[in-house]
Amino acid sequence: MSKPAGSRRAPIGRRDFLKYSAAGMAGAAALGRVRAGLAAGRPIEFSIWSAAVDTVKSHLTAFEAKTGLSVNLSTAPWAQYRETLVTKFVGGAPLDTLWVSDSWLPEWAEAGWLSPVGDFPQLTAYNSDVDDFCVKSMTYNGQQYGITYYSDWMGFLYNEEMLSKAGITTPPESWDQVTEQALKIRQAGLAEYPVLLSFAQETWLIEFISAMVFSQGGRLVDDKNVAVMADPEHGAVKALRWAVDAVQKHKIVSPACVETGELAGLKAFGSGQFAFGLIPKYRLRTLNDPAQSQIPGKAKLMLMPRGDKGAHATVGWMRFYGLTSQARKDKARSAAAVQLMEWFGGKADGDYRFQKLLFLDVGAAFGVKSLFQDPEMRKAYQAFGDVDLIAKQQALAMKKDVVAPWFGEWNDLNGAAWQAAVVGKSTPEEALKRSADKWTELKKNA
Amino acid sequence: MTEDRIGRSGFWFLASGFRYDTRTAWLFLSPVMAVLGAVTVFPILYSLYISFFSLKLTRPQRVPFVGLDNYLQVVQDDVFWDAVARTALFTVVSVTAVALIALLIALLLDQSFRGRRLLGALLLVPWAIPSVANGLMWKWIYDSHYGALNGLLLQLGAIAHYLPWLGDPHKTLLLIANAFVWKEVPLAAILILVTMKAIPADLYRAATVDGANKLQRFLHITLPSLRPGLMLVVVYVAMVAIRQFDLIFLLTEGGPAQASQVMAWQIYVETFRNLSFGTGAALSYILALATFALAYFIIRTLGQRL
């Protein structure tokens, strides 16, 4: 039936309907064949945060050339990585292997997104050559979930020149000595606030806090996940008391520490304003680089100061290659992913090639013990630090004890509680009780 | 069917023999309405839906229906009420400061003097700066190690050493409000100035003949005539202030010691850090209701008096 032009479109007739339907079905069938074809030669889906991307790509190219496997690399900024990956997991996006932070392991393992790797001996074989805190940081509920990507720890650094000007020949051994020497430096007019603490509310804060607590011989949480931070015998109270006194009583730490983040602290230390600083160890290279620092060659590492019951311990952290549960369900996929994980986290052609590339290119530290004996690595380390002292401190690093499925929620409140004590809004005891209560509540509700 | 009936009942005429031009209008509007429905209406309704579930993204296997529990949990938490108090303080301080400063600037720009146009153009600069750039600029100004504010005050001899501005929990919120006011004043001043320009000059002339002085002319002619402009400014600034997030994120991340943890920041932490979408959505709806209530209150009370 015809209609006047411009009034109404002609309805689709029965023949047209059948014709379009047939065409649609043929198209869908063709698409299905394409999908099946893609699945057969499917690349390994590898996700990382945006760090050392060029180094990763060059090592990936070598992997693809050697194995004939193809890899699809996707990156996301570190600041949004966790949220991006969680969204991908929930949305069922294809993922085989990825970089994982130790802080997220319990959460992702509990959600069933990561798969244990205990039955892949090609990955677990490296455990004996890796620092103890690294293996522990990749382990949750007795299961290992990956292979090392990089690891580092919190170091206590000093400005050798400033100490020398103050007539101090030996760096402090204990927190009490840090106070004494800092007061001496302050009285000499060399620094207004000689000690740098970066206590801003950011992701680094828990590492700064843990390092101070561990060096006191303490713990925040015991092996049974019971909060012990409010217990005066477990070091956290002493650590926070020291920080509070340093700010309010001795005035050797700036009250601005609560707005100083890790990066701002690094810049401030590099400008020569401080005698001592709690700083991630890998920053030693930057601080001794004339192109990036005003104190090149003067930033030195010492063992963490210890408390009455402490033994120079510090906190270590770990980033590792994890295997996804979706990859694990498919034998071919998991085999390819594990091959890639070993190529990066273990040995490639008989050598820890990627660990070395990372360290030499961008200064990212490693948890592989034998690399401390490698002449090339020793030479590179020696250019900005005492390699034997670094190895000694690394052996005293401990994993973060607060990593649990509820870590994120507790961490915000804990950071605020420490800040409240530092700015004088509460006592250390009150702050730590608040933190412990929150931990207990979250654990109960988990 | 009359035009009036078409205007009142959209769906009714779709099902009947409606006019060609009306039908064509709906046809052209429908793609936009479909897009708006998909990207605005659906998310709003869906977020209301998930606010009744214990939806935590990291616990995808267990999403129980909890009814109003998320709302109850939120309002029973002291942290929430602390955030409400800070939001209220931030809003009151910001709105008052913006309205007063904008009024003074509008009064100045309403005068005839040399350079008035240049001043008016310069006034718009803070408003033209993107929010993130504005936040970063104030971060530099307030920085305790190298900030311009410390440098200036030290050179003027007002302080003996650098002070931790944002690190002081007693000052933090007011300093953030200061950065907010700096950005919002220009638009507010322009809105008030436009209203001011619309006041008939005859009123002032008549008042002058009657012996009214400047203050009396301001109180009895200018201020009452500015009611529409001031209302708009107060409602707009209050709605922006109550939802302020950018400056908090860039300057303090809610710290120190939660001193700048306002409601919008709490929603961000709950939703995007804790990935608790259920309680995050509940918090968002509480904030939305509070915003509507505040706007309604301002219009009903202040609007009557001005």
Report the residue from A268, A405, A423 with minimal CB separation from B256: A423
Boundaries of domain holding B31: 2-50
Average pLDDT over residues B293-298: 86
B25 and B141 part of one domain: no
Say whether pTM exceeds 0.95.
no
Report the residue from A86, A112, A255 with minimal CB separation from B57: A86
B107 and B207 part of one domain: yes
How many residues are present in chain B?
Answer: 306
Instruction: State the nearest Cα–Cα gap between B282 and chain A, in angstroms.
Output: 17
Residue B56 included in any domain:
no
Q: Burial letters for A88-102: b for 16+ Cβ neighbours within 10 Å, e otherwise? A: bbeeeebbbbbbbbb
Average pLDDT over residues B186-209: 93
Least confident of A323-327, A336-340, B81-85, B115-119: B115-119
Q: Does A202 touch chain B (CB under 8 A)?
A: yes
Residue B58 included in any domain:
no
Q: Which two tokens stand for residue B230?
A: 């001031």
Q: Provide, as residue numbers in chain A, all residues whose Cβ is less than 8 Å from the Cβ of B271.
A: none
B166 and B285 part of one domain: yes
Q: From the CA atom positions of chain B, what is the Rg in Å?
A: 25
B32 and B157 part of one domain: no
Residue B244 included in any domain:
yes
Residue B287 included in any domain:
yes
Q: Which two tokens stand for residue A347?
A: 């040995």
Reported as a single tens digit per residue, the pLDDT across A58-87 is: 999 999 999 999 999 999 999 899 999 999
Instruction: State the nearest Cα–Cα gap between B167 and chain A, in angstroms.
Output: 5
Q: Which residue of B has its CA nearest to A6?
A: B20
Assess whether the previous peptide bond of A94 is cis (omega < 30° from 0): no
d(CA A62, CA A59): 5
Provide, rounded to the nearest whole percent, the portion of chain B with pLDDT above 70.
Answer: 92
B178 and B123 part of one domain: yes
- Listed by number, the residues of chain B in 46-65 with a beta carbon closer than 8 Å to a beta carbon of chain A are 57-61
Instruction: State the nearest Cα–Cα gap between B65 and chain A, in angstroms.
Output: 16
Q: Does A197 touch chain B (CB under 8 A)?
A: no
Is beta strand A44-49 parallel, antiparallel or unpaired with respect to A97-101?
parallel
3-state secondary structure of B163: coil
Query: HEC states along A215-282?
Result: HCCCCCECCCCCECCCCHHHCHHHHHHHHHHHHHCCCCECHHHHHCCHHHHHHHHHCCCCCEEEEECC
Q: With beta carbons less than 8 A apart as the criterion, state whether A146 and A137 touch.
A: no
Instruction: State the nearest Cα–Cα gap between A418 and chain B, in angstroms.
Output: 8
Average pLDDT over residues A157-186: 97
Q: With beta carbons less than 8 A apart as the criterion, state whether B176 and B184 touch.
A: no
Q: Provide, as residue numbers in chain A, all residues whose Cβ is less than 8 Å from the Cβ of B269.
A: 412
Q: Provide, as residue numbers in chain A, all residues whose Cβ is less than 8 Å from the Cβ of B272.
A: 83
Report the residue from A258, A259, A408 with minimal CB separation from B273: A408
3-state secondary structure of B56: strand
The more confidently predicted of residues B9 and A249 is A249
Q: How confident is the model at residue B200 (pLDDT cuts 50, 70, 90)?
A: very high
Reported as a single tens digit per residue, the pLDDT across A127-151 is: 999 988 999 999 999 999 999 999 9
B167 and B277 part of one domain: yes
Q: How confident is the model at residue A234, as a pLDDT? A: 82
d(CA A431, CA A349): 52
Q: Which residue of B has its CA nearest to A199?
A: B256
Residue B63 included in any domain:
no
Q: Provide, as residue numbers in chain A, all residues whose Cβ is less than 8 Å from the Cβ of B161.
A: 192
d(CA A306, CA A240): 14
B265 and B169 part of one domain: yes
Average pLDDT over residues A24-48: 59
d(CA B148, CA B72): 45
List of E strands, B93-247: none
Least confident of A24-33, A226-235, B71-80: A24-33
Residue B64 included in any domain:
no
3-state secondary structure of A158: strand
Location of structure tokens 């014709």? A19
Q: How confident is the model at residue B6, as a pLDDT? A: 45
Residue B59 included in any domain:
no
Q: Model ipTM?
A: 0.79
Q: With beta carbons less than 8 A apart as the criterion, state whether A219 and A299 touch.
A: no
List the CATH number of the domain containing B189: 1.10.3720.10
Residue B23 included in any domain:
yes
B45 and B83 part of one domain: no
B45 and B75 part of one domain: no
Would you say residue B14 has pLDDT above 80? no
- In a mutational test of the B interface, the residue from A9, A105, A412 whose CB has the highest number of chain B CBs within 10 Å is A412
Reported as a single tens digit per residue, the pLDDT across B166-188 is: 999 999 999 999 999 999 999 99
Report the residue from A110, A256, A273 with minimal CB separation from B164: A256
Q: With beta carbons less than 8 A apart as the criterion, state whether A197 and A257 touch.
A: yes
- Listed by number, the residues of chain A in 272-331 with a beta carbon closer than 8 Å to a beta carbon of chain B are 273
Provide the number of structural domains found in chain B. Answer: 2
B111 and B185 part of one domain: yes
3-state secondary structure of A71: strand
B223 and B76 part of one domain: yes
B39 and B81 part of one domain: no
DSSP B85-112: HHHHHHHHHHHHHHHHHHHHHHHHHTS-
Q: Within a 10 A sphere around the Cβ of A40, how many other Cβ atoms?
A: 8
Q: Provide, as residue numbers in chain A, all residues whose Cβ is less than 8 Å from the Cβ of B166.
A: 259
Q: How confident is the model at residue A415, as a pLDDT? A: 95
Query: Assign residue B77 a region: left if phi > 0, alpha if psi is -120 to 50, beta otherwise?
Result: beta
Q: Within a 10 A sphere around the Cβ of B200, how many other Cβ atoms?
A: 10
Q: How confident is the model at residue A4, as a pLDDT? A: 37
Q: From the CA atom positions of chain A, what is the Rg in Å?
A: 27
Instruction: State the nearest Cα–Cα gap between A360 and chain B, in angstroms.
Output: 32
CB-based contact B145 A112, cutoff 8 Å: no
CB-based contact A419 B60, cutoff 8 Å: no
Average pLDDT over residues A311-332: 95
Q: How confident is the model at residue A25, as a pLDDT? A: 47
CB-based contact B161 A409, cutoff 8 Å: no
Would you say residue A30 has pLDDT above 50? no
